[in-house]
């Protein structure tokens, strides 16, 4: 933490201006504090946010919200119950504190704060969630393209009712069967490259009609009479086979990376309501997809904002020194990064990395070194830290953000080093460290670690034997020989089989040469016996 806190003598020390003096909060103080924060966020930092709604909840309600993946309205599923009992045990035993807040990307932007929080914590939380996250949600391109902040709560309400209705009508087991399978495929239920269209029934029907019309118009009987190419029988068979495959692939829109979408549209034996359940899970997965890709930025943005606001409140004499100390205690715990050999280490802490990078960009803008001028000629010394950050928040995701903005200083400060892990070598090798040779390598590697398309396996539906036994072919493209976790893959394959209703083959294909490396098969139960 570099010292943005100014020394006490420069600040206005007039106790009557303090927003609060005790640790407890009430709704009036909360409101007054919010107004003070809003003044700084909107008028000084010029943040652009959705209207805010702050909801005060108890710790038990926080646990509730926690276990339902942070959403206020969620359909019922045993896995949420499992999460609840686990968090409950952890919380009661004191292994794990509760989150101080949960914020929902919706319009109005809803932040949950716990009643147990002190007023300092509430101030921190409002600055962090109601302005930091809120600004990020409203402005980042991923959120803009992929999620519908206006409609998410309505949609969840619909989903909850719909699933409850299905449970009534078809029984818990039938619904659970579909949801289990859908949850297993949630990560493969997003469109990565094209953002979802707003569904429009009229447009769909229109397209359907146009397609039929085009087929009618372009039909020419003469094509049928063309002589077959003069080749050996085997070649013709081969050619026919290839043509059939091409035809099929066109018919099903293959290859398809969105497994859930494919199953929803094409699984032969699913009921309409079952397809709707797949769709619900898919939509929720899609809604969270931007959050998965922007953890570092999102938290970094929120931490930067709360840090700036808290300091500004302090500078204006609106909060006391004691409150500031309390804040710094919370803050330093949140942005703590354990080192790799620390038992507490569990990967990079997105709060720590994000905050360090945001602060560093700020520094580069206002107080650049020689090195910064070399690395970041565009922004170094431009003296517009907030504008620069807002640009970054709007147009990047974690991977591209790190690739673009991770500076040598941050790498040195966090003492990053890169490990090269080659399966053929008996050793791990240190591939690069935080020095002139290594900066770019470390940066590239760290960016890749935050690239969701590298982190999640590359799965695609490639073929369906529609005229034969309806075998479904799914392909995992193996990069660098990194396989799927086998037992999990087997179970997940089973779930796909359940939805598809016929046999499923999972092929691992080498990315370099397209060779099929190994195969895994699922046989439906009624066929397996034969």
Partner 1 sequence: MLYIVDRRKNPTGKSLGNRQRFMRRAKAQIKKAVENTIRSRGITDTTNGDQITIPGKTLKEPGFHHAGRGGNRNYVLPGNKKFVQGDRIARPQGGDSGAGGSQASPDGDGEDEFQFTLTRDEFLDIFFEDLELPDLLKKSLKQTTAFRNARAGFSVEGTPSNLSLVRTMRNSLARRIGLRRPKTAEVRELEEKISALQAKAEKRPNGKLTKADDTKLHTLLADLEEAKRRMKAIPFIDPIDTRYNQFQQIPDPNTQAVMFCLMDVSGSMSEQMKELAKRFFMLLHLFLHRKYEHVEVVFIRHTSRAAEVDEDTFFYSRETGGTIVSTALEEMKKVLKDRYPTDQWNIYAAQASDGDNYSNDGSKCTALLAEDLLPKCQYYAYIEITDEREAEIFSAAEGETALWKAYAPLASNNPRFALKRVTKAADIFPVFRELFAKNRAEAKV
The SS3 assignment for 11 reads coil
- CA end-to-end distance (rounded Å), the chain: 67
Measured distance CA(36)–CA(345) in Å, rounded = 37
Least Å distance between CB 514 and partner 1?
17
Stretch of 192-200, 298-306, 341-349, 393-401 lying at the interface with partner 1 (CB under 8 A): 341-349
Stretch of 10-18, 29-37, 370-378, 462-470 lying at the interface with partner 1 (CB under 8 A): 29-37
Measured distance CA(334)–CA(303) in Å, rounded = 9
CB atoms within 10 A of CB 346: 8
Q: Which C-beta is closer to partner 1: that of 225 or that of 423?
A: 423
Q: Which phi and psi angles does 70 have, rounded to 5°?
A: 75, 5
Alpha-helical regions (H) of 94-232:
119-125, 134-139, 141-146, 152-170, 172-184, 201-218
- Near partner 1 in 466-525, by CB under 8 A: 476, 478-489, 491-492, 495
Pick one of 214, 336, 345, 511: the residue that binds partner 1 (CB under 8 A): 345
Q: Which C-beta is closer to partner 1: that of 37 or that of 323?
A: 37
Q: Which C-beta is closer to partner 1: that of 79 or that of 191?
A: 79
Pairing relation of β-strands 109-114 and 52-57? parallel
Least Å distance between CB 296 and partner 1?
13
Measured distance CA(420)–CA(432) in Å, rounded = 8
Least Å distance between CB 129 and partner 1?
13
- Near partner 1 in 120-179, by CB under 8 A: 172, 176
- Near partner 1 in 280-339, by CB under 8 A: 337-339
Measured distance CA(530)–CA(527) in Å, rounded = 6
Per-residue HEC secondary structure of 209-278 comes to HHHHHHHHHHCCHHHHHCCCCCCCHHHHHHHHHHHHHHHHHHHHCCCECCHHHHHHHHCCCCCHHHHHHH
Q: Which C-beta is closer to partner 1: that of 152 or that of 418?
A: 418
Binding residues with partner 1: total (CB under 8 A): 103
Least Å distance between CB 219 and partner 1?
42
Q: Which C-beta is closer to partner 1: that of 76 or that of 144?
A: 76
Q: Which C-beta is closer to partner 1: that of 282 or that of 476?
A: 476
Q: Which phi and psi angles does 517 have, rounded to 5°?
A: -85, -50
- Positive or negative CA dihedral for 195, 264, 459, 283? positive
DSSP letter for 315, please: H
Closest by CA to 443, choosing from 410, 413, 467, is 410
Pick one of 36, 52, 103, 135: the residue that binds partner 1 (CB under 8 A): 52
Pick one of 6, 31, 161, 242: the residue that binds partner 1 (CB under 8 A): 31
Least Å distance between CB 351 and partner 1?
13
- Near partner 1 in 426-445, by CB under 8 A: 426-435, 437-438, 442, 445
Least Å distance between CB 234 and partner 1?
37
- Near partner 1 in 79-108, by CB under 8 A: 79-86, 88-89, 92, 108
Least Å distance between CB 138 and partner 1?
14
b/e map 440-459, b = 16+ CB within 10 Å: eebbebbbeebbbeeeebbb
b/e map 245-279, b = 16+ CB within 10 Å: eeeebeebebebbbbbbbbbebbeebeebbbbbbb
- Near partner 1 in 57-76, by CB under 8 A: 57-58, 60-61, 63-64, 67-68, 76
Q: Which C-beta is closer to partner 1: that of 182 or that of 389?
A: 182
Pick one of 18, 56, 245, 394: the residue that binds partner 1 (CB under 8 A): 56
Q: Which C-beta is closer to partner 1: that of 214 or that of 345?
A: 345
- Near partner 1 in 352-411, by CB under 8 A: none
Pick one of 217, 341, 370, 526: the residue that binds partner 1 (CB under 8 A): 341
- Near partner 1 in 173-202, by CB under 8 A: 176, 180, 183-188
């Amino acid at each position: 933490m570099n010292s943005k806190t100014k020394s006490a003598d420069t600040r206005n020390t007039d106790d009557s201006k303090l927003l609060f003096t005790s640790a407890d909060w009430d709704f009036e103080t909360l409101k007054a504090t919010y107004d003070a924060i809003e003044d700084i966020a909107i008028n000084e930092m010029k943040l652009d946010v959705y209207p805010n709604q702050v909801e005060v909840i108890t710790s038990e309600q926080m646990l509730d919200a926690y276990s339902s993946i942070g959403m206020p309205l969620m359909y019922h599923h045993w896995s949420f119950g499992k999460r609840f009992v686990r968090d409950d045990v952890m919380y009661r035993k004191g292994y794990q504190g509760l989150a101080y807040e949960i914020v929902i990307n919706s319009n109005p932007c809803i932040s949950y704060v716990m009643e147990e929080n002190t007023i300092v914590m509430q101030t921190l939380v409002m600055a962090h969630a109601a302005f930091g996250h809120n600004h990020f949600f409203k402005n980042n391109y991923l959120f803009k393209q992929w999620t519908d902040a206006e409609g998410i709560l309505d949609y969840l309400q619909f989903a909850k009712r719909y699933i409850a209705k299905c449970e009534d009508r078809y029984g818990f087991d039938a619904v659970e069967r579909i949801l289990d399978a859908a949850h297993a495929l949630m990560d493969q239920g997003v469109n990565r490259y094209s953002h979802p269209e707003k569904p429009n029934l009229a447009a769909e029907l229109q397209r359907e009609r146009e397609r039929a019309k085009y087929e009618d118009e372009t039909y020419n009987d003469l094509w049928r009479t063309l002589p077959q190419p003069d080749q050996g029988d085997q070649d013709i068979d081969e050619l026919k086979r290839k043509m059939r495959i091409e035809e099929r692939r066109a018919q099903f829109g293959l290859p398809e990376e969105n497994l859930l979408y494919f199953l929803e549209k094409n699984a032969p034996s699913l009921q309409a309501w079952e397809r709707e359940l797949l769709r619900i899970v898919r939509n929720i997965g899609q809604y969270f997809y931007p959050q998965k890709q922007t953890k570092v930025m999102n938290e970094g943005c929120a931490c930067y904002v709360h840090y700036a606001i808290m300091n500004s409140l302090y500078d204006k004499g609106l909060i006391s020194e004691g409150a500031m100390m309390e804040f710094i205690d919370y803050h330093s715990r949140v942005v703590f990064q354990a080192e790799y050999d620390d038992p507490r280490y569990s990967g990079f802490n997105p709060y720590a990395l994000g905050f360090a990078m945001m602060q560093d960009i700020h520094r580069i803008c206002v107080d650049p070194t020689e090195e910064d001028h070399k690395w970041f000629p565009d922004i170094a010394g431009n003296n517009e830290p907030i504008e620069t950050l807002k640009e970054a928040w709007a147009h990047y995701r974690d991977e591209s953000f790190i690739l673009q903005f991770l500076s040598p200083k941050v790498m040195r400060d966090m003492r990053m080093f890169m490990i090269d892990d080659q399966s053929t070598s008996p050793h791990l090798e240190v591939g690069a460290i935080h020095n002139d040779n290594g900066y770019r390598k470390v940066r590239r590697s760290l960016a890749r670690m935050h690239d969701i398309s590298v982190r999640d396996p590359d799965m695609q539906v490639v073929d369906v034997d529609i005229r034969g036994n309806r075998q479904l072919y799914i392909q995992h493209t193996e990069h660098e020989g990194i396989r799927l976790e086998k037992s999990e893959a087997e179970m997940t394959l089973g779930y796909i089989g359940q939805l598809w209703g016929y046999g499923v083959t999972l092929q691992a294909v080498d990315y370099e040469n397209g060779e099929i490396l190994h195969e895994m098969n699922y046989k439906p139960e009624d066929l397996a016996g034969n």
